[in-house]
Amino acid sequence: MEHLPIYMQLHGREALVVGAGPVATRKAALLLEAGARVRLRAPAYSEAAERLLREQPGSISRDPGVYDSECLDRVAIVIAATDDAEVNRQVSEDCVVRSIPVNVADQPELCSFILPAIVERGPLTIAIGSGGRAPVLVRLLRAKIESLIPAGYGRLADLAGRLRDRVRARFDHVNARRAFWERAFAGPATELALAGRMDAAEARLEQELADAATSTPGEVYLIGAGPGDPDLLTFRALRLLQQADVVVYDRLVSSEVVNLARREAERFYVGKERDRHCVPQAEISALLSRLAREGKRVARLKGGDPFVFGRGGEELDVLAADGVAYQVVPGITAASGCAAYSGIPLTHRDHAQSVRFITGHTREGRLDVDWDQLNDPHETLVFYMGRRALSAICQGLKGVAQRAGSTPAAIIENGTTNQQRVVSGTLDTLATQAERAGVGSPSLIVVGDVAACHQRLAWFKPDAGADAAFPQPMPGPQTAAASAA
């Protein structure tokens, strides 16, 4: 984020616009809408400027003459929009020296703030900016948002403002107030307000306020965050994530997914890696229970699906025993997501009629796998967490399971992200190929004839120049998580 989005209170404050052409006049009109007293500093005035001066004589004034730094005295905000690049630069430099917020039209490098495109619905204001890079794109997005938000939302915001003090008096804790408003805005009162029935909407909100419990019970949302690409989240996962008070996440959850939560939500990193646990599983479960019993809504984000090698059941056992409410949101498990992004169908009428998911974890250096059950050549095998055991997996399949050494196999690293890599070969060659390519974790291994489909069906082209959707653990919350647990 290059610019901090803020809303500045300008009612009754002095604003200076240097220039009086069409662009300067549009900027002045925007300042007037925000309640500022505007001075137009220019040696000559365009027709648009003259018209604005006539229409709002009490709020905007003429300040004839060329620019000099003395006109910055007692000014709260400055906009420069002249045809002279040197004048615009001088205005910017003088404002920086005086710590006055300044915007120079179409020159973002000279701005200490930028003016976004605005969607306004009464007190409800939505600002859209691109840091000055793509103003046309910003205008297109503004038009889309304008079409999606009815004018009734402004009336609803006014109504919420009238009831705000009463809601604050009713609920002591901010989490309880937030939960009330979320229920109210998702309920009948909103529909009444959007239909223009404001009296009925207000009566409904007042009734809901009178009936509401003064405390809100906590709850845990066990959310499958998918294999990395944030676009693979379900609508329900996104909705619950954005209403959570606390987010607890591990190493396999991408930063893009974590950042979809509300900015003010607490975040706890409890990442687990093979043989190295930031927070032990028992402490994670206890943390979830404690946070919920404090009345917080807790989003527990797990990579992939929480019930497929995600220890989701272990965490729910603790929550159920403690009487904590919870919901489970399935996610796209790594096998489905990584195989799809690699062009490998897990089942195929010509190659595989079933698929089996297997953990590739070793126990005391030994794979705990029932190899005798893995000898069907028409079954696709998917090994989770098996990178370190890849050689042993290939040997076990060729040995006890009696799979042919020529059986196609592939290993997918960082699937569904911009760091995705696929190395394909056979049971005879894959371990050596993966070692030579330096394949790391997280990785998924697919064995069976379908693995050969990657060569002709691969469609996902990772953008090597883009930021990876699969992050390293975020360092900030780790200490907080460990101490909080």
Contacts with 230 (C-beta within 8 Å, 6 or more apart), sequence order: 254, 256, 257, 260, 469
Contacts with 319 (C-beta within 8 Å, 6 or more apart), sequence order: 220, 285, 288, 289, 292, 326
What does pTM read for this prediction? 0.72
Please answer whether residues 341 and 309 qualify as being in contact, where contact means their C-beta atoms are separated by less than 8 angstroms.
no
Please answer whether residues 110 and 89 qualify as being in contact, where contact means their C-beta atoms are separated by less than 8 angstroms.
yes
Q: How far apart are CA 251 and CA 255, in angstroms?
A: 10
Alpha carbon 213 to chain centroid distance? 31
pLDDT tens sequence for the chain (485 residues): 778 888 999 999 999 999 999 999 999 999 999 999 999 999 999 999 999 999 998 899 999 999 999 999 999 999 999 999 999 999 999 999 999 999 999 898 999 999 999 999 989 999 999 888 888 999 999 999 999 898 889 999 999 999 999 999 998 888 788 888 988 888 899 999 888 899 999 999 999 998 887 667 789 999 999 999 999 999 999 999 999 999 999 988 989 999 999 988 999 999 765 555 568 899 999 999 999 999 899 999 999 999 999 999 999 999 999 999 999 999 999 999 999 999 999 999 999 999 999 998 765 557 789 999 999 999 999 999 999 999 999 999 999 999 999 999 999 999 999 999 999 999 999 999 999 999 998 999 999 999 999 999 999 998 755 444 443 333 333 333 433 33
Write out the catalytic residue numbers.
Answer: 250, 272
Please answer whether residues 146 and 123 qualify as being in contact, where contact means their C-beta atoms are separated by less than 8 angstroms.
no
Beta strands in 179-296 (DSSP E): 219-224, 246-249, 266-269, 272-273, 276-277
* Count of Cβ atoms closer than 10 Å to residue 199 Cβ: 8
Query: ∠ CA 210-172-161 to the nearest 5 degrees?
Result: 65
One-letter amino acid identity for 428? D
Q: Which of 362, 313, 335 is nearest to 450 (CA)?
A: 335
User: Mind spelling out the 3-state secondary structure of 36-95?
Assistant: CEEEEEECCCCHHHHHHHHHCCCCEEEEECCCCHHHHCCCCEEEECCCCHHHHHHHHHHH
Please answer whether residues 101 and 8 qualify as being in contact, where contact means their C-beta atoms are separated by less than 8 angstroms.
yes
Q: How far apart are CA 226 and CA 223, in angstroms?
A: 9
